[in-house]
Structure formats: C-alpha cells, structure tokens
Amino acid sequence: MANLSAVVFDYYETLAEISASIRERIFDDLAQRVGLDLAPGEAYRHWRELTTRDWVLRLAGQQQPPLDGPTPPFVSFREVWLERSRQLFERWGVDAPAELGADAYAGAHASAAVYADAPPALTALQERYRLAVLSDADSGFLASSMERNGLAFEAVVASEEVRAYKPHVSMFREVCARLGVEPSSALYVGDSPWADIQGARHAGMRAVWVNRHGVTWPEDMEPPEAEIRSLDQLDELSTR
C-alpha cells in the first residue's frame, strides 16, 4: 500500500477488546446485581435483542447510518444506553435505575484493555506513519480506556465531538483534517464492514478489514481491499 502517510484506527474490537464474551460477563454481573439468576450469557442476549433500536435512537429514526448528506440529530451512547437499560429492566420486571445499566456498560468500555497485538503493531507503524484513532464513542470512556492502556496518538476523534457517527463522511474528513493529510494518503483499519470499511472507502481512504473472529463478509458489499486477522499483519501489508 504505497504512498501512505497516515494510519487511522477504529478503537473497540480493533485495538481494544470489548468482545462478546466480555459483554456476556458484564451483563451476567448486572443481572445478579438486580437480583436475577439467569443462565450465563442470557442477560446479554436480552440486551442484544434491544440493539435493533439503536440506530432509531441514535439517528432520529433512521434505520441505517448515512454515508453523507445532512447529519441526523445526534444522541450520545450514554443517552442510548440509559434508554436501553430502562427497557431491559422493564423486561426483567425489576425496579432499578437506568443509570445502573448505562454506568456498567460505559465502565466496561472505559476499562477495556487493548489486544496483545496492538502495542507492538503501533510501535512498528509509528516509525513511518502518523497515527490516529477515529471511534464511534463518547469522549469520556474512550479517553479513559486509552489512558489506562498508555496509548497516545497524534489525533483522536470521537463521534461525540463531531456529533455524527461512522460511516458518515464528516467523521473521516475530520480525522484527516486534524492530521493534515489527504484521505487518499491515509489508511483506515477497522472491524465493521459498513461503518469502518465502507465509510472509509466512501471518504476516499484506503481500508483494511480486521476480522478477529472469522466472520463472513456481507454478500451485498464489495469485498475489502485487504483482510487481516491480527494487527501484526498490518506492518507487512502497509509496506507493499
């Protein structure tokens, strides 16, 4: 991937782990805290069943985040998680404040540890490229996780700052502007086919799909330029 001057990373499930097994443990614990005895993983399954409403909440009724055009009215993750927690506790029939669920989920994101392959990959890349993070995240929990992991980047852009979500082109343009590079000279690395890869390509960036869990690429989307299973493959890929 010649003629690159910058590499931009998604954060969660690209650099830092917030995998399904971790989420299951979070919600197993939450269920116990409100007095429920559920089978392992069941509480998170209930939470996930409510995620179909996420974009409706975050993007004022739109079913899919747009690539460009006017940005929909913005709602933060915390606001969404408060509403979803209220719905979850109502489903469970428990009298608990929505803040309990929202705080637990935000806390897990704030304390998320980086994957073992992230630090050496970043060290190798920073010798040749300007590095940045672009994440759909509230600024507070993103900054907390990065500080906890001792990570520093030339630019860090959270959706809460831009008041938009990936794959909207404004997100990708913002991170390139902060780095002072053209999109065509920046590589984006992320795990979401639509939000990360399609969004970056639409903005004129090159993109690499991090497929840590061996999932299948959507049939209705053009395949990614490159796919990796681990960030230690990225240094070799970027020198081609």
pLDDT for 67 equals: 80
pLDDT of residue 64: 66
What pLDDT score was predicted for residue 58? 58
Please give the pLDDT value at position 123.
95
Q: Are residues 102 and 118 in the same domain?
A: no
Is position 1 within any domain?
no
Which uninterrupted H or E stretch holds 6? strand 6-9
Q: Are residues 81 and 180 in the same domain?
A: no
In a domain, 192, yes or no: yes
Q: Which domain holds residue 130?
A: 6-17+113-238
Q: Which residue has the tokens 């938009």?
A: 164
Are 49 and 133 found together in one domain?
A: no
**How confident is the model at residue 239, as a pLDDT?**
56
Q: Length of the chain in residues, anyone?
A: 240
124 and 199 both lie in a single domain: yes
The string of pLDDT tens digits covering residues 75-114 is: 899 999 999 999 999 999 999 999 999 999 999 999 999 9
Q: Are residues 49 and 60 in the same domain?
A: yes
In a shared domain, residues 64 and 156: no
At 100, list the tokens: 């309990």
Supply the CATH number for residue 231's domain: 3.40.50.1000
Residue 48 lies in a domain: yes
* Residue where a domain stops, chosen among 61, 93, 110: 110
My answer on whether 91 and 134 are in the same domain is: no
For residue 123, being part of any structural domain is answered with yes
Q: What is the pLDDT of residue 227?
A: 95
In total, how many domains does the chain have?
A: 2
Q: Same domain, yes or no, for 120 and 229?
A: yes
| Same structural domain, 211 and 178 | yes
Partners of 132 in the beta sheet?
A: 8, 155
Complete DSSP assignment for 61-128: T-SS--SSSSPPPP--HHHHHHHHHHHHHHHHT----HHHHHHHHHHHHHTPPBPTTHHHHHHHHTTT
SS3 130: strand
pLDDT < 50 stretches in the chain: none
Predicted confidence at residue 49, as pLDDT, reads: 86
The residue out of 110, 130, 162 marking a domain boundary is: 110
The C-alpha atoms of residue 148 and residue 146 are separated, in whole angstroms, by: 5
Query: In terms of domains, do 133 and 94 share one?
Result: no
Shared-domain flag, residues 104 and 126: no
Residue 114's pLDDT is 98
The residue out of 110, 126, 153 marking a domain boundary is 110
Given this model, what pLDDT does residue 236 score?
Answer: 76
Q: What pTM did the predictor assign?
A: 0.92
Tell me: do 150 and 70 sit in the same domain: no
Q: What is the pLDDT of residue 68?
A: 82
